[in-house]
């Protein structure tokens, strides 16, 4: 009989699932929670598909004990969640809302009681609207307010939470919220200089959060950023194309990963941005460049690159119209992105511990057969990415964990509730949760610590 060689993951590999507060909690105006930029943005006609709002979402605010029970049943041991800043500080700064702290205390206790380790993201895009009204990410007022918020939550939860993620995907709440043509909250249209300044302010917040964890996090606390870097895939795995893909990767991520890992903006970045470069104050880069414990990466897709001709270092290739993708126009299926996406930061910046803090896929249509959502497209997507992740580990890339996005279908930002990313199906009329085929498959992967 022919046997298959099991693709095992290292002992102690962290398997988990991820969500974010604004996408699942609902209770958008309950117990003193303030308005977030997404609460406001979703009410502007035409911004979110079908006019969907975050008001109720998955009602996780009231259903978290049942959700944790389901996670336990599926064998999920690690859960990446985020905290809603406007629940803790309804006005962004000023008075803390005790009901917000109380809610997260109860939630973390329940999570732990179900045998699940929480991985807490301090900020996942839901800026208090009150701060947006005072300039939002263009202003250092937001940075100061964030520093206080980060300190407050680390002090409140740090006795039980040991894994902290500072910010989720800086690009998505800066460039995609403040640039012409962008589609995310708050939907402003600012100049290149102002947009570069918003990155810089977000980087400062990352620094403040690292400081808060070091100061108040207690024993064993660890902290890192989650970035959605731009990921490249060499067209051929030959030295010339790999070098080209690496050069492209360095150029694309200079404004976020360089200052975090080197404590400076690279000469190439400063030259490229010229007079649009961010204004940097004394002490900023020291704050931003403090050592972290890991790098979180959300890897979904990539850009094909090959060596350029003559003096041109690289060539970006456009995808054919019929290239395989999910229902999301941007989510082209490219498993090798997870291989190179993990490998380049280890090689270029010396990242010592990498966690894939998100990977997954979204579809509008998922077949129901005999009452089961048979999402074989998701099972296939995840399996193919995991094979490439396994290859990265075998090649010596220090990948320590993987979190599947998402535990359950949820509010997919500008795509509302139409686009489903969950391994658990949510019926938004009844709030019934039903594990899909992919959830059962992933349960076996986690239990056996290998690709099945």
Please, which residue, 152 or 168, has the CB nearer to ligand GBH? Answer: 168
CB of 86 to ligand GBH, least distance (A): 17
C-alpha–C-alpha distance, residues 18 and 362, integer Å: 14
Two tokens, residue 388 = 């490439």
318 is an interface residue for ligand GBH by CB under 6 A:
no
Binds ligand GBH by CB under 6 A, chosen from 300, 344, 402, 403: 300
Indicate which residue of 35, 169, 258, 388 is catalytic.
169
d(CA 153, CA 67): 23
Nearer to ligand GBH, 15 or 173 (CB): 173
Pair 379, 360: CB distance under 8 Å: no
**Residue 258 near ligand GBH by CB under 6 A:** no
79-98 mask for ligand GBH (x: CB under 6 A)?
--------------------
Q: Which residues contact 349 (CB under 8 A, 6 or more apart)?
A: 257, 261, 262, 295
Among residues 390 and 419, whose Cβ is nearest to ligand GBH? 419
Q: Should residue 421 be labelled a site residue for ligand GBH when binding is judged by CB under 6 A?
A: yes
- Residues in 15-54 at the binding interface with ligand GBH, rule: CB under 6 A: 20
Shortest reach from residue 418's CB to ligand GBH, in Å: 12
DSSP letters of 234-260? Answer: ESSSSHHHHHHHHHHHHHHHTTTHHHH
Q: Is 138 in the site for ligand GBH (CB under 6 A)?
A: no
Cα 177 to Cα 171: distance, rounded to the nearest angstrom: 9
**Residue closer to ligand GBH, measured from CB, 263 or 416:** 416
> Rounded distance, CA 209 to CA 222, Å?
11
Contact with ligand GBH (CB under 6 A): which of 163, 168, 303, 443?
A: 168
132 flagged as catalytic: no
Task: Find the binder of ligand GBH among 330, 369, 370, 432 (CB under 6 A).
Answer: 330
**Cis peptide bond upstream of 186, omega within 30:** yes
The interface region with ligand GBH, picked from 29-37, 165-173, 203-211, 367-375 by CB under 6 A, is: 165-173
Q: How far is the CB of 417 from ligand GBH (least distance, A)?
A: 12
Residue 452 and residue 439 in contact, taking contact as beta carbons nearer than 8 Å: no
Is the backbone of residue 98 left (phi > 0), alpha (psi -120 to 50) or beta? alpha
Which residue number has the CB closest to ligand GBH?
330
Kindly write out the interface string for residues 214-233 of this chain, putting x where it contacts ligand GBH by CB under 6 A and - elsewhere: --------------x-----
Q: Residue 119, interface with ligand GBH (CB under 6 A)?
A: no
Name the pairing type of β-strands 78-82 and 117-123.
parallel
Report which of 168, 84, 161 is spatially closest to residue 406, judged by C-alpha positions: 168
165 forms part of the interface with ligand GBH (CB under 6 A): no
- 267 exposure class (CB count in 10 Å sphere: 0-12, 13-18, 19+): exposed
Identify the sign of the CA torsion 394, 396, 401, 403.
negative
Quick one: tokens of 219?
A: 């024993």
Site string for ligand GBH, 360-399 (x = CB under 6 A): ----------------------------------------
Among 253, 292, 298, 336, binds ligand GBH (CB under 6 A): 298
Task: Name the catalytic one among 25, 258, 358, 366.
Answer: 358
**Catalytic status, residue 25:** no
Question: Rounded to an integer, what distance in angstroms lies between the CA atom of residue 440 and that of residue 452?
Answer: 11
**Helices 140-157/192-216 angle, 10° precision:** 20
- Kindly report the backbone phi and psi dihedral angles of residue 264, in degrees, each rounded to the nearest multiple of 5, phi listed first: -155, 160
Backbone phi, psi, residue 155, to 5°: -65, -40
Nearer to ligand GBH, 299 or 446 (CB): 299
The least distance separating ligand GBH from the CB of residue 13, rounded to whole angstroms, comes to: 22
Instruction: Please tell me whether residue 172 binds ligand GBH under the rule CB under 6 A.
Output: yes
- Which of residues 119, 137, 216, 405 is near ligand GBH by CB under 6 A? 405
The residue (of 284 and 412) whose beta carbon lies closer to ligand GBH is: 412
- Pick from 25, 93, 132, 169 the residue near ligand GBH by CB under 6 A: 169
Which of 299, 308, 277 is closest to 399 using CA atoms?
Answer: 299
Site residues (vs ligand GBH, CB under 6 A): 20, 168-169, 172, 176, 228, 298, 300, 330, 358, 405, 412, 421
Active site residues: 169, 358
């Amino acid at each position: 009989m022919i046997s298959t060689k099991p693709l095992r993951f290292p002992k102690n590999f962290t398997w988990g699932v991820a969500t974010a507060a604004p996408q699942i909690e609902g209770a958008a105006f309950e117990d003193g929670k303030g308005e977030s930029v997404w609460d406001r943005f979703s009410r502007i006609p035409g911004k979110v598909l079908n006019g969907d709002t975050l008001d109720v979402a998955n009602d996780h605010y009231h259903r978290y004990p049942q959700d944790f029970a389901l996670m336990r049943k599926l064998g999920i041991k690690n859960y990446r969640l985020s905290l809603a800043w406007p629940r803790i500080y309804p006005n962004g700064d000023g008075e803390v809302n005790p009901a917000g702290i109380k809610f997260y205390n109860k939630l973390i206790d329940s999570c732990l009681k179900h045998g699940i380790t929480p991985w807490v993201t301090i900020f996942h895009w839901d800026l208090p609207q009150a701060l947006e009204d005072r300039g939002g990410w263009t202003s250092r007022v937001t940075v100061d307010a964030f520093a206080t918020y980060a300190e407050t939550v680390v002090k409140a939860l740090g006795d039980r939470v040991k894994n902290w993620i500072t910010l989720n995907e800086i690009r998505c709440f800066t460039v995609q919220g403040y640039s012409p043509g962008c589609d995310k909250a708050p939907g402003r249209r600012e100049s290149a200089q102002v947009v570069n300044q918003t990155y810089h302010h977000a980087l400062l917040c990352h620094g403040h959060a690292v400081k808060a964890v070091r100061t108040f996090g207690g024993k064993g606390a660890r902290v890192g950023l989650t970035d959605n870097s731009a990921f490249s895939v060499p067209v051929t795995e030959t030295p010339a194309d790999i070098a080209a893909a690496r050069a492209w990767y360095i150029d694309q991520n200079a404004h976020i990963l360089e200052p975090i890992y080197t404590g400076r903006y690279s000469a190439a970045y400063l030259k490229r941005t010229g007079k649009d470069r961010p204004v940097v104050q004394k002490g900023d880069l020291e704050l931003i460049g403090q050592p972290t414990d890991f790098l979180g990466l959300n890897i979904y897709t990539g850009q094909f690159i090959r060596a350029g001709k003559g003096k041109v270092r690289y060539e970006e290739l456009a995808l054919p119209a019929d290239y395989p993708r999910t229902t999301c126009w941007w989510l082209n299926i490219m498993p090798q992105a997870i291989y190179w996406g993990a490998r380049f930061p280890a090689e270029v910046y010396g990242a010592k511990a990498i966690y894939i803090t998100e990977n997954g896929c979204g579809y509008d249509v998922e077949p129901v057969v005999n009452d089961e959502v048979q999402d074989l497209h998701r099972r296939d997507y995840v399996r193919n990415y995991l094979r490439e992740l396994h290859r990265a580990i075998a090649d010596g890339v220090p990948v320590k964990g993987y979190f599947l996005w998402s535990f359950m279908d949820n509010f997919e930002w500008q795509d509302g509730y139409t686009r489903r990313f969950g391994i658990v199906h949510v019926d938004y009329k009844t709030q019934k949760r039903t594990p899909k085929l992919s959830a059962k498959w992933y349960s076996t992967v986690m239990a056996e610590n290998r690709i099945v």
